[in-house]
Structure 1
Amino acid sequence: MKLWEFVNELKSPAYCWVDLTHELSPATPHWYGFGDLTTEVIYDFSPDCIFHSDKYVIPAGQFGTHVDAPGHFVQGARTLDQMTLKEMVYPLVVVDKSAACAANADYELTIADLQEWEQEHGPIPEGAFVAFRSDWSKRADMNNYDENNQPHYPGWKLDALHWLVEERRIGAIGHETADTDAPGANVNFAGEVYILETDRLQVELMTNLDALPPTGAVIFVTFPKVKNGVGFPARVFAVYPKE
């Protein structure tokens, strides 16, 4: 009964619920190396059919707002069907570097940024999901190509990820961009390889992080139990109490 009461409390006007997921459609933002999602109506309401159904063809599991399992970059590592239920919920920390990213499209989040955040909000708790807010999801052109057709968008510094894992023992990370690493840094996915090598999941192409407080929220990362899957579109949301 206490759990049921807790659910009713969470659904009361005392709490805010924020969807951190892009809709899944042909217009969904995605990594520049993939093609577009396509849809097709395969059944529709008619005198001979009492239901509607669509076919969705996604070019890769890592499409739109998605979760990456360790096996995405680490051969033999865990896949989505091996992730535990407890890895679908975390205390949420939001690190806002949107102003710095607006000034520099190639901005990389640093240890100093994380330490500055802690000076204001306290230590990042063990097991937390740390989200890098860049406000990049608000952009119409998230790939931000230059004249040489090179994309430019923010990412994590590798040593910042090391610090979060080794010093704060976080549970997972997430960001609004399509990569862990800034493509302008030319680091060959070093940050993404590292975070997945530590047997943690990550969420990419998040949105609405600007609607969350820096601390106090809980994030839910839900995704299908795809056998041997290393990435798949996810429904991600957060809940926090109104002050």
Structure 2
Amino acid sequence: MMEWNKLPRSQWTSSSQSRASMMRLSAVPHRRIIFLLSTCCWLLLLTQHRHHSAHAVSVMDLLNLQESDVIDLTHPFNNQTVYYPTMEQLGFTFQLGTVYRGVDKRGHYSAAYWFQAAEHGGTHIDAPLHTQENGSSVEGIPVTQLIGAAVVIDLSREARRNPDYKVSVEDFESWEAQNGRIPSNSILLLNFGWARRWPNRNALYGTKHFPEDTVFRFPGVSIRAANWVLRHRTPKAIGTDAPSIDPGSEQRLFPVQHLLGRANVIVIEFVANLDRMPPIGAIVIGLPMKIDGGSGAPVRLIAVQLQNAFFPSDDMFTPAPVTRRIKGQRKNATAARDRLAVTSIEPVSPTPNPTNTRVTSKGSKDHLDRSKIVAANNNCWRPAISNNIMRHLILLSIYSILLTVR
């Protein structure tokens, strides 16, 4: 562009007019950009509104639950409750005694009882403190860590053939080929068919003289499979209907229990009624007794099958980081997973099964359309936009509209 002081005076007017016309032309793409920016802002706002509407539908489903939609995954606690052999040998089993029971002088009936029990018996959880000196105890476990999407893997046939069966990476890959990828932050439940043996102690532990025997035979997870699922699928809890997450042959070293403890993954043992659970489409809720400083606790575990079943996304029920005290300091424990020395295995690319089977409490089966599950997942579980971002988007969209109008 020529400098104004080098132009003849006769050309100043025409040059200024041409410059003004050029500025008007150059403003056109800027207005287009502003218009597109405003449109994007409003689309984000509409997406946020859609997110809240979808959550309202899910809340209504929870409020209108039927008895058949809830599966109790907890064994009752009584004088038949099975505990780990060490607890049984020391006499730390479930005991229920009477404080008072009767009718008073006014004819009013009342009853009160006392009970005592060890931590590790019946349907219970193992906190990281169970195997890690500085691990989190029961009261330090976030409530959200035992609320999540249920992933149920049926290995009852394999365990029936081999009571020492160890879950392999191929078992996880086979499940994913039928049902889709295991989402992160899910609750992984292993059905070995072992709950059918409850409360037969010898049958559960695979011994002839419980609790004196030291050789046990029951299924569990291999260390290679545990490494793979922690590295590639990152569940926040793993449950089994067997006495331990480690197989009976590994009850001296507990390699998987130690690995999960270091990763702050909660272990749930002696889970009931997994044979009534669908592979996907249910939400698990676990509420353990809040024992201050406990290494484990009894847990009331249930599963909820929503009518509009869906396969939750990775953002669902993301737990808060588990923290623990180490020499007076609080240390974030979520980085433990990054320090795991695991086998390098590439994740699989599963082919989703078009249908899935849902098992009701009456034992009947009805097929759920997997396309509806995926559609509900895409529509319902979108990451929320924070209120601060919402305010900025509204202001930016208003400012963009004003500039476009001018």
TM-score by length of 1: 0.91
Q: CA deviation at 1:33?
A: 2.4
1:47 aligns with 2:99: no
Given that 2:146 and 2:237 are in contact with CA atoms closer than 8 Å, whether structure 1 keeps it comes out as: no
Given that 1:109 and 1:157 are in contact with CA atoms closer than 8 Å, whether structure 2 keeps it comes out as: yes
Given that 2:143 and 2:287 are in contact with CA atoms closer than 8 Å, whether structure 1 keeps it comes out as: no
- Distance in structure 1 (CA, Å) of the matches to 2:237 and 2:305: 19
Matches within 5 A, 1:61-72: 61-72=119-130
What residue number does 1:228 align with?
293
Q: CA deviation at 1:235?
A: 0.1
Relative to structure 1, is the Cα distance of residues 185 and 74 closer, same or farther in structure 2, using a 3 angstrom cutoff?
closer
- Distance in structure 2 (CA, Å) of the matches to 1:226 and 1:186: 25
1:9 aligns with 2:68: no
What residue number does 1:156 align with?
221
What residue number does 2:352 align with?
none
SS of 1:33's partner is helix
- Distance in structure 1 (CA, Å) of the matches to 2:282 and 2:72: 12
Q: CA deviation at 1:45?
A: 2.1
Identity %: 23
What residue number does 2:280 align with?
215
Given that 2:169 and 2:225 are in contact with CA atoms closer than 8 Å, whether structure 1 keeps it comes out as: yes
Q: CA deviation at 1:202?
A: 1.3
Q: CA deviation at 1:224?
A: 2.3
What residue number does 2:163 align with?
105
Matches within 5 A, 1:79-228: 79-139=137-197, 140=200, 141-146=203-208, 149=213, 150-185=215-250, 188-228=253-293
Give deviations 1:51-93, integer Å, cap 9, x for gaps: 21111121x2112100111111100111111111211201110
Given that 2:146 and 2:187 are in contact with CA atoms closer than 8 Å, whether structure 1 keeps it comes out as: no
SS of 1:207's partner is coil
Q: CA deviation at 1:19?
A: 0.5
Gaps of 5+ in 2: 1-51, 308-367, 369-406
Q: CA deviation at 1:124?
A: 0.5
Return the match for 1:22 from 57, 63, 75. 75
Q: CA deviation at 1:187?
A: 5.7
Given that 1:66 and 1:234 are in contact with CA atoms closer than 8 Å, whether structure 2 keeps it comes out as: yes
Given that 2:290 and 2:297 are in contact with CA atoms closer than 8 Å, whether structure 1 keeps it comes out as: no
Give deviations 1:137-186, integer Å, cap 9, x for gaps: 10132122058932211111011111111111111100011111112245
Given that 2:205 and 2:248 are in contact with CA atoms closer than 8 Å, whether structure 1 keeps it comes out as: no
Given that 2:126 and 2:295 are in contact with CA atoms closer than 8 Å, whether structure 1 keeps it comes out as: yes
- The answer to which structure, 1 or 2, has the higher relative contact order (CA under 8 A, 6+ apart) is 1
The number of residue pairs the alignment matches comes to: 242
- Distance in structure 2 (CA, Å) of the matches to 1:39 and 1:210: 30
Give deviations 1:169-210, integer Å, cap 9, x for gaps: 111100011111112245611111111110121111101001
Relative to structure 1, is the Cα distance of residues 222 and 42 closer, same or farther in structure 2, using a 3 angstrom cutoff?
same
Q: Which amino acid aligns with 1:92?
A: A
Q: Which amino acid aligns with 1:78?
A: S
Runs (4+) of structure 1 exceeding 6 A deviation are 1-5
- Distance in structure 1 (CA, Å) of the matches to 2:112 and 2:229: 44
Q: CA deviation at 1:241?
A: 3.1
Shifted more, 215-224 versus 142-151: the winner is: 142-151
The structure whose residues are more often helix, as a share, is: 2
Gaps of 5+ in 1: none
- Distance in structure 2 (CA, Å) of the matches to 1:241 and 1:15: 10
Bigger-Rg structure (1/2):
2
Q: CA deviation at 1:101?
A: 0.4
- Distance in structure 1 (CA, Å) of the matches to 2:272 and 2:119: 18
SS of 2:87's partner is coil
Q: CA deviation at 1:50?
A: 4.5
SS of 2:280's partner is coil
- Distance in structure 2 (CA, Å) of the matches to 1:37 and 1:151: 22
Relative to structure 1, is the Cα distance of residues 52 and 108 closer, same or farther in structure 2, using a 3 angstrom cutoff?
same
- Distance in structure 2 (CA, Å) of the matches to 1:34 and 1:176: 19
Q: CA deviation at 1:29?
A: 2.4
- Distance in structure 1 (CA, Å) of the matches to 2:187 and 2:247: 20
What residue number does 2:305 align with?
240
